[in-house]
Amino acid sequence: TTSKRENRIDLCYWGSEVTLKMISKILNKKIYVVVASTGLETSSFQVFYPAQSNRNGETYMTVKEKNFSIGVPEDWIQDIQAGVRGENLQLKEKVRQLQAQLALASL
């Protein structure tokens, strides 16, 4: 799509897979979804996550989708926990780097 100011997303698409994929791509973050239109007992679970695609020697940002079993959230929850652990490790490393820079600056 173009990025003209007058462009918009119709209300009927908000919360759809299209907008969730766009949000994941824009934020460069995983988006976790519970689809429970008929109740939690029959709910399904999804993750939309940023990825890269290579075509004709060019690299493009894209979004992939992973679906989990209906009514069985355990794998979906494990995916969330693994993502949080990964983000925490990245944050800790950034803090260590900042502390090292501050220590050098104070010399």
Which of the 8 DSSP states describes residue 11? G
Those residues whose C-beta lies under 8 Å from the C-beta of residue 68, and which sit 6 or more positions away, are 44, 45, 46, 47, 75, 76, 79
Those residues whose C-beta lies under 8 Å from the C-beta of residue 53, and which sit 6 or more positions away, are 59, 60, 61, 62
| pLDDT attached to residue 6 | 65
Q: Where are the domains of the chain?
A: 11-105
Band of residue 7 on the pLDDT scale cut at 50, 70, 90 = low
pLDDT single digits (tens) 36-61: 888 877 888 999 999 999 989 999 99
pLDDT single digits (tens) 48-99: 999 999 989 999 999 999 998 887 788 888 888 888 888 888 888 888 888 8
